[in-house]
């Protein structure tokens, strides 16, 4: 009778495909949960993003509106197709998050191994910060997508024989990425690595001149509108670099440390702290030590330069803390890989010792999964500081109003609600029935021509009275 090995079973042969399928289904389920259950609302940043995207056009293209132009275009198409809703506002980020996860898997597979790539994708998927960015209807998801894409394309360019397609793709992605703040830093890190690292410098010199000229030409064509806009409004540079108006290093370092390791109140965007939980510190610290000790490698060299640049930017501007997600993830992977590799080096031929060494790694990974999921669940469902940052007014108004109704809003709210397919005004004294927002009600509460018929409330806002139905006396 033939001995059966585990490698003979179909589920072992297709273990990675099965795992990725389960991950994909789990991710979609979690994203739908975050979209419709927690936090089930819009931040002010999302409403501002939707307004900017909907008003985005070729007219004012060569101005500050060109910042995040690719994302604005995607979000505008989504709103035009599906109408103004939580789903249409968040859909571009959800789709881009799927690309980000695919990129994380491909990059970690190329740099490390398929097993490590699987573990890292699980860690990334269960990160509360990634959940937030994935369902957050702002361009911040690009802070993950662009670096991952650029690093993967760069790694593929170095390792492949047919370099021309990757040279063109790199030029296109690099050009498009420059429209998003902070993206320039990964390009600067790679450029510095290519110029100073001996192996990469040698590889760059071997690139055929026609490949290089074609890539540079495409890159310049893509960024030409951005260059024109910068020429007309030079302050765009400050926005793209993420440089703050004021600089207080002592306070910034204190705030950054609290956001990374401590417990602070949520920002206006709804991000919770700590960014780095206790279970991650072990892996990140190990990964940091590993990259420093192997700085001779092009991978570690570029990550070190990039991390130093981003830390400096975050010290100058702590609100940019989400740009640290990708380097933190890569350091986590490096730590995970180095721990496993070191243990296997100690016991190269003892299968029992090798398996035993995986137990603490497994405990750390499981600890990461549980703490991340629990942090997300508790914070976005029960934390008052977080929940209060998410408005359900759009859902509420769509439930209680009809297109023919007049919606009266404050001047600050007008830009967003004017996207709705209904009559939206700042002031109106002629209609017999008015639906007035909380912020606009101050202009009508002393108006003796109208009386309150209904008050529509929400239990997820600090000011529970969200809309007033007024009728002419």
CA distance 406 to 437: 11
Give buried/exposed letters for 245-276 (b at 16+ CB in 10 A, else e): eeeeeeebeebbeebbeeebebbebbbbbbbb
* Residue tagged 């009728």 (tokens): 471
| b/e 218-240 (16+ beta carbons within 10 angstroms → b) | bbeebbeebeebbeeeeebeeeb
Listed in sequence order, the residues at least 6 apart from 76 whose beta carbon sits closer than 8 Å to its beta carbon are: 53, 54, 56
Answer yes or no: are the C-beta atoms of 182 and 143 closer than 8 Å.
Answer: yes
Helix (H, G, I), strand (E, B) or coil at 424: strand
| pLDDT tens digits in sequence order for the chain, 473 residues long | 455 555 566 666 777 778 788 888 888 887 777 777 666 788 889 999 999 999 887 656 677 889 999 999 999 999 999 999 999 999 999 999 999 988 988 888 888 877 777 877 888 877 878 888 888 899 999 999 999 999 999 888 887 778 788 889 999 999 999 999 999 999 998 888 888 888 778 877 878 888 888 989 999 999 999 999 999 898 899 999 988 877 888 888 888 888 887 765 555 455 666 777 776 788 888 888 888 887 778 888 888 889 889 999 999 988 888 898 899 888 888 888 888 777 777 777 777 676 776 777 777 777 777 777 777 766 666 666 677 778 888 888 888 877 667 788 888 888 898 898 777 877 655 667 788 888 888 766 666 678 888 888 877 676 778 888 888 77
> pLDDT at position 210, please?
85
Give the pLDDT of residue 70. 94
Cα 262 from Cα 274, distance rounded (Å):
5
H/E run at residue 436: strand 433-437
pLDDT at 220: 95
Give DSSP secondary structure letters for 173-185: HHHHHTTSTTTHH
Let me know if 33 is exposed, middle or buried by CB neighbors in 10 A (0-12, 13-18, 19+).
Answer: middle
Report the DSSP beta bridge partners of residue 469: 435, 454
Is the distance from CB of 77 to CB of 89 less than 8 angstroms? no
Contact 166, 150 (CB under 8 A): no
pLDDT at residue 447 in the model: 65
Bridge partners, residue 434, by sequence? 406, 470
What local confidence, expressed as pLDDT, does residue 146 receive?
A: 95
DSSP string, 32-50: HHHHHTSS-SB-HHHHHHH
Q: What is the pLDDT of residue 149?
A: 94
Residues 6+ apart with CB under 8 A from 72: 49, 52, 53, 56, 65, 139
What pLDDT, on the 0 to 100 scale, is given for residue 1? 44
Residue 311: closest CA among 284, 278, 336: 284
241 vs 67: CA distance, rounded Å: 11
Cβ atoms 273, 378 nearer than 8 A? no
Q: Which of 149, 105, 146 is nearest to 124 (CA)?
A: 105
pLDDT in the model for residue 334: 85
The pLDDT assigned to 396 comes to 86
Q: Can you give the pLDDT at residue 421? A: 76
Give CA–CA dist 358/367, Å, rounded: 14
Give how far Cα 184 sits from Cα of 54, 103, 153, 371, Å. Answer: 26, 19, 16, 33
Query: What DSSP string describes 325-341?
Result: HHHHHHHHHHHHHHHHH
pLDDT number for residue 362: 74
**Bridge pairing between strands 433-437 and 465-472:** antiparallel
User: What's the pLDDT score for residue 96?
Assistant: 95
pTM: 0.87
Q: At what angle do helices 351-382 and 278-293 cross, to 10 degrees?
A: 130
Length of the chain: 473
Q: Rounded to an integer, what distance in angstroms lies between the CA atom of residue 43 and that of residue 76?
A: 18
The alpha-helical segments, DSSP class H, found in 68-177 are 69-82, 86-111, 114-125, 128-134, 142-159, 164-177
């Amino acid at each position: 009778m033939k001995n059966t090995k585990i490698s003979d079973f179909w589920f072992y042969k297709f273990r990675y495909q099965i795992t990725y399928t389960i991950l994909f289904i789990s991710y979609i389920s979690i994203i739908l949960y975050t979209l419709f259950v927690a936090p089930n609302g819009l931040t002010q940043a999302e409403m501002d993003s939707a307004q900017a995207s909907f008003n985005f056009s070729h007219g004012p293209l060569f101005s500050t509106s060109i910042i995040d132009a690719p994302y604005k275009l995607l979000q505008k198409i989504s709103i035009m197709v599906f109408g103004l809703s939580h789903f249409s506002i968040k859909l571009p980020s959800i789709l881009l998050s799927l690309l980000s996860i695919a990129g994380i898997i491909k990059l970690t597979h190329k740099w490390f191994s398929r097993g490590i790539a699987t573990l890292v994708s699980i860690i990334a998927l269960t990160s509360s910060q990634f959940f937030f960015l994935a369902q957050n209807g702002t361009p911040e998801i690009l802070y993950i997508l662009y670096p991952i894409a650029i690093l993967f394309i760069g790694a593929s360019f170095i390792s492949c024989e047919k370099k021309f397609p990757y040279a063109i793709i790199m030029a296109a992605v690099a050009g498009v990425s420059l429209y998003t703040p902070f993206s320039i830093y990964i390009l600067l890190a790679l450029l510095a690595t290519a110029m100073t690292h001996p192996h990469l410098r040698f590889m760059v010199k071997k690139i055929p001149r026609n490949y290089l000229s074609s890539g540079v030409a495409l890159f310049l064509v893509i960024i030409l509108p951005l260059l024109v806009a910068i020429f007309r409004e030079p302050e765009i540079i400050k926005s793209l670099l993420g440089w703050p108006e004021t600089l207080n290093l002592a306070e910034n370092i204190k705030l950054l440390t609290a956001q990374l390791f401590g417990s602070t109140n949520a920002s206006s965007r709804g991000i919770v702290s700590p960014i780095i939980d206790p279970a991650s510190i072990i892996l990140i610290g190990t990964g940091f030590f590993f990259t420093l000790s192997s700085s001779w490698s092009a991978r570690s060299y570029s990550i070190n330069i990039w991390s130093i640049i981003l830390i400096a930017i975050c010290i100058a501007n702590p609100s940019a803390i989400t740009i640290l997600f990708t380097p933190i993830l890569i350091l986590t992977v490096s730590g995970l890989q180095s721990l496993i590799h070191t243990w296997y080096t100690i016991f190269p031929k003892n299968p029992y010792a090798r398996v035993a060494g995986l137990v603490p790694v497994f405990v750390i990974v499981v600890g990461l999964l549980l703490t991340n999921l629990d942090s997300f669940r508790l914070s976005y469902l029960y934390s008052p500081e977080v929940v209060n940052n998410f408005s359900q007014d759009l859902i509420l108004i769509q439930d209680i109003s009809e297109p023919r109704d007049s919606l009266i809003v404050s001047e600050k709210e007008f830009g967003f609600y004017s996207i709705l397919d209904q009559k939206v005004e700042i002031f109106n004294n002629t209609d017999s029935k008015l639906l007035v927002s909380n912020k606009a009600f101050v202009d009508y509460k002393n108006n003796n021509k109208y009386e309150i018929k209904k008050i529509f409330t929400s239990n997820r806002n600090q000011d529970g009275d969200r809309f007033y139905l007024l009728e002419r006396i």
